[in-house]
Structure 1
Amino acid sequence: MPVERLLPTDEAADLLALTRELADKEVLPRAAEGERTATPPRDLFRTLGEAGLLALPYPEEFGGADQPYEVYLQVLEQLAMRWMAVAVGVSVHGLTAYPVATFGTREQQEALLPGMLGGTQLGAYCLSEREFGSDIAHMRTRAVADGDDWRIKGTKAWISHAGHADYYTSFVRTDDTEGKGLSCFVVPSDADGLGFGAPEKKMGLHGDPVAEVIFDDVRVAGDRMIGERGQGMHIALSALDAGRLGISAAATGLAQAALDHATAYAKERKQFGRPIADNQGLAFMLADMEAAVSSARATYLHAARLKDAGRPFAKAAAVAKLVATDAAMRVTTDAVQVLGGAGYTQDFPVERFFRDAKVTQIFEGTNQIQRLVISRHLLASL
């Protein structure tokens, strides 16, 4: 169902139209089979990269498109409406380039960003560890100085693109100063000692397989450290603010797709001689679903516009992530209910939407963590 959008420029409107066309032609036809076979759509990422969609919010001089975040996020929403795993993959890739673009030296940006943003490379973001989850200050993966280089030992968990990425933006411990002992490295995929676990058996997002990334005494050149030694915590949290907006937009697209399918089904499905949409109880359910999707979109666009204006947006990003992902879970649940028994079968995509929605409340910081972030911002402002 078309959604009225307010875009800042005619160029942005053209970009969104291109995204819809490309997503309908290349992404949507692959979604059901890709999820069934758990096949990573690496070729689709190349197609999107060639169209410039993997580098939208980054500087043009390094291969980006200099698009505002509010435009980039609406592109992610369009991708998520066709295949959630692709939108999540694009968001993760964007997250992997963020530390270099924001905290890297000029030399690092010139050396690394053209590849990251050129469309042929795919990145992975290595932050979480199985024992600690959101408690990243106590991660155990460690880098030890070896002359001008570093050697990394440890294991990261739940990593999208593990085994398929060209580089791994990794956060590891370089000293034991609590909260300040982490540093960021960009590890090339061909580094000796880099290994991967078996893909996790997940509820949903099968087209986005995740696995452990194992650092077995991996040597990394000193010029691959991004930012200052000990700056990793700040870089990671800053990147997550942006990443939460990506997940917010993707969750909104997923919810919109569920609403579209539920609305179409309610208009076509007849019971007792009339469309089930004529029943006020069901029509009100659709109205509540629309309100949830519209609210989610409004919150992520508000946060994006703060970011584009150079204003603090961490609290707004947490609000957007909380609102959009809770909305996705609620709307996909209700979409299954609207379809009834049919919605519980794999013959209709709302069953897949429902399974895909759950993880959005967990990754990029659980929604309990979002509430913690929001409450701390509120109390700090008093």
Structure 2
Amino acid sequence: MTDDLSSIGLDEEQRELAGMVRDFAEQVVAPQAYEADRTHTLNLDVVRQMGELGLFGLPFPEEHGGQGGDYLALGLAIEALARVDQSLAITLEAGVSLGAMPIHRFGTQEQKAEYLPSLLSGENLAGFGLTEPEAGSDAGATRTTARLDDGEWVVNGSKQFITNSGTPITRFVTVTAVTGSQGQGAGDGKEISTIIVPNGTPGFTVEPAYDKVGWNASDTHPLTLQDVRVPEENLLGVRGRGFKNFLSILDEGRIAIAALATGAAEGCLEAAVDYAKKRTVFGSALSTRQNAQFTLARMRARVHTARLAWHHAARLRDAGRPFAEQAAIAKLVSGEAAMDNARDATQIFGGNGFMNEYPVARHYRDSKILEIGEGTTEVQLLVIARGLGLAG
């Protein structure tokens, strides 16, 4: 069902990676997906195996325990996982893009040496605390504050919807906080910085997990920070550059989310084609009905378009060229493809598509967040419009 990978420019090593993760997804991830979703449980044994395969270290240099790969390699792995289980795919995506990547991109040599080895091996996870009750798409509205006091940052505030923040292997959460005014931040002249807050720090509370519509096996919590004190050297990157640094991390993350959405769209297509061939209606296979064929053909076209979009954005990023607009296009196209394919697959399945034991039902619940998280559809449209030179 997948495209001939060689036809879209993958080399032998990349094809082997995609095939290896696809086999792992079918043999290890898929069998546990229903139960993990039903019980809202992140399977840490599977996470450990993902680490052993080197997936968390794919786009990082070998000197810190990475695989020396690139963002295209990461996307291939995420796409393969998302075909069968979006929760584990987002665990990988967030663990790399939001957990380890900020340390790799902006951390000191000491921070890299301390944190990256365990993150890239999958031994630990980390979260990125950006979103707040009053600051979602408008991240410049951040209200969490951090002030220096006797060589320590004192952090107060709250965060919400933070992935990988409360697992038994979560080591820290990097939080954005207002550290002053008239800096290089955003929103009312706020100086926004990023600070590493280790889990278990007094005053740092990981609140009970959310009861979500989808991604039920993904770890997601609200966070409360009350007079949390961490060393001054826990500042990540240059003071006042936190907002700008976050935007660059988000641009990269959108490529990974686009890969995830493409995998979800493909998983829906494969399940729907298989079901349509087996399902008999009025004496013949559902797949022989022109309406069903047209639906499946449109689903196929969405997968193909989404894959081309995220591959293009990843290659631009890996070549060191501007890619923000292409990342936004990829996320827009692929997020809509995942949601549309989930809806169409559920329709093909009929009543069975409403049963959680079938993967299409989980994809239907899971896929909506792909039009919201790491930048809503409206934000992607805004980025694309600005690329056209349209002021706002």
TM-score bucket (shorter structure):
over 0.9
1:160 matches 2:170:
no
Would you say 1:110 and 2:120 are equivalent positions?
A: no
What CA distance in whole angstroms lies between the structure 2 residues aligned with 1:140 and 1:346? 39
Counterpart of 2:12 (choices 4, 10, 13) is: 10
Aligned partner of 2:85 in structure 1 is: 83
CA distance in 1 between counterparts of 2:3 and 2:302 reads 14
Contact 2:3 2:304 in 1 (8 A): no
Q: Do the aligned partners of 2:56 and 2:120 also contact (CA within 8 Å) in 1?
A: yes
* TM, length-normalised to structure 1: 0.96
> Which residue is equivalent to 1:59?
61
2:203 aligned to 186, 193, 212, which one?
193
CA distance, structure 1, for counterparts of residue 95 and residue 121 of structure 2: 12
Residue type at the aligned position of 2:296: L
> Within 5 A, what are the aligned runs for 1:17-56?
17-56=19-58
The alpha carbon displacement at 1:209 in A equals 3.5
Which whole-Å CA distance do the structure 2 matches of 1:46 and 1:202 have between them? 24
Distance 2:303 2:78 in 1: 15
Percentage of matched positions with identical amino acids:
38
Residue identity matched to 2:18: L
Summarize the alignment of residues 93-172 of structure 1 with structure 2, pairs less than 5 Å apart: 93-95=95-97, 96-164=99-167, 165-172=170-177
Can you list the C-alpha shifts for 1:148-206, whole angstroms capped at 9, x where unaligned? Answer: 22111110001112321211121111113361511112221121111022222211111
Q: Deviations over 1:120-147 (max 9, x none)?
A: 0111111100112111111111111012
Corresponding residue for residue 180 of structure 2: 175
Relative to the length of structure 2, the TM-score reads 0.94
1:134 counterpart letter in structure 2: S
* The 10-residue stretch of structure 1 (308-317 or 63-72) with the greater mean CA deviation from structure 2: 63-72
Give per-residue Cα distances to partners, 1:319-344, cap 9 Å, x unaligned.
11110001101010000111122212
**SS across alignment from 1:82:** coil
2:336 maps to amino acid: D
Q: Which amino acid aligns with 1:172?
A: A
Matches within 5 A, 1:331-350: 331-350=341-360
Partner of 1:252: 262
Q: CA deviation at 1:2?
A: 4.1
Q: Distance in 2 between matches of 1:43 and 1:254?
A: 22
Q: In 1, are the aligned partners of 2:146 and 2:153 still within 8 Å (CA)?
A: yes
* One-letter code aligned to 1:161: N
**Aligned with residue 306 of structure 2, among 287, 296, 299:** 296
**Number of equivalenced pairs:** 381
Residue 240 (1) aligns with residue 243 (2): no
The aligned amino acid for 2:140 is A
Distance 1:218 1:42 in 2: 28
Between 198-207 and 1-10, the greater mean CA deviation after superposition = 1-10
**One-letter amino acid of the structure 2 residue matched with residue 125 of structure 1:** F
* Separation (CA, whole Å) in 2 of partners of 1:239 and 1:192: 28
SS of 1:77's partner is helix
2:55 partner SS: coil
Measured on the aligned residues, the alpha-carbon RMSD in Å equals 1.5
- Aligned with residue 378 of structure 1, among 363, 366, 388: 388
Structure 2 residues without counterparts, runs of 5 or longer = none
Match of 2:376 in 1: 366
Determine helix, strand or coil for the equivalent of 1:182.
strand
> Residue 83 of structure 2: SS of its match in structure 1?
helix
Query: Is 1:285 paired with 2:295?
Result: yes
The residue type paired with residue 99 of structure 1 is P
Say whether the 8 Å CA contact 2:166–2:220 is kept in structure 1: no
